[in-house]
Structure 1
């Protein structure tokens, strides 16, 4: 490599840091048989055209006994939506047509994975958002904050 090419390459690394060249538009969250998410925060990068959110259930128990999903809602609606979701068993515990639901993954059991494509424009920067598992009894332990970044 010539000296001039090396200088251009080094200068390019300082002018365009690797982190600035790609957005974090792919998110993976794991859940388990002990009613845990591996993250208490999901970061939504609003500069992404879309975000691919993958939920992995790393446990062994089936969807009927230890099902998990991720439901996004405004923080102020979390408790009331979680209470109402327990009655929505025919809809995988996500009340159909409920405007408090911003987005939701499918309900999965141990060893399963589901992916949701999110439109970041669903999240208003002036609101606070939360996520939770709507399977009955899980939301108290399985919830977290959504942080919006540009």
Structure 2
């Protein structure tokens, strides 16, 4: 019983951390502010020089208003440990017959704790597909097997991984609007965006 409570507490803490403020906690900041008084200036300059180099990573380009950048009937989007996609909309060129979405998980958390995928449905079907996906479980990428409301979906991935899906563009030309979202339990509420053909 104590193990279940510990796991539940850790899961809640991770969820709160993902939804909360991205600034570092105040506790580590206090030792950092007192350290320069007892250390030589040369020691404090070195970490400042190495920090920018560590943060330079290639990320998917984002257009105006959070729109995905589309090139050659394909786009790349990112999901992170803060439960966010880096784009809010995908516009598929009408000249494309097939379209490819590549998802990169830029976080570090494992798939079981903070997995992400991309699922495409109509806006009307999104909530029902996400609810049915919870019942399908992680082994099915939180997508109900054989669900004909699902236009396309990637597999579920964890931090540092990537996955892709290609689909027939004619499937998102009918009655819309259409949405892309993450079907990991609880993520669809904020990890979502529109997808349309223009």
Q: Are 1:145 and 2:194 matched, yes or no?
A: yes
TM-score by length of 2: 0.61
- More relative contact order in 1 or in 2 (CA 8 Å, sep 6+)? 1
Deviation at residue 24 of structure 1 after TM alignment: 4.1
Aligned positions of 1:1-150 closer than 5 A: 24-89=72-137, 90-149=139-198
Equivalent-residue separation in structure 1 for 2:163 and 2:147 (angstroms)? 21
Equivalent-residue separation in structure 2 for 1:76 and 1:42 (angstroms)? 18
More helix by share: 2
Q: Which of the two has higher C-alpha Rg?
A: 2
Count of residues in correspondence between the two structures: 128
RMSD of equivalent CA atoms: 1.6
CA contact (8 A) 1:46 1:148 kept: yes
Deviation at residue 104 of structure 1 after TM alignment: 0.3
CA contact (8 A) 1:24 1:45 kept: no
CA contact (8 A) 1:23 1:47 kept: no
CA contact (8 A) 2:172 2:196 kept: no
- For residues 32-86 of structure 1, the C-alpha deviation after alignment (integer angstroms, 9 at most, x for no partner) is 0000000011112231132221000000001111100000001111111111111
- Unaligned runs of at least 5 residues, structure 2: 1-69
- Unaligned runs of at least 5 residues, structure 1: 1-21
TM-score by length of 1: 0.80
Q: Which runs of 4 or more aligned residues in structure 1 lie more than 6 Å from their structure 2 counterparts after TM superposition?
A: none
More strand by share: 1
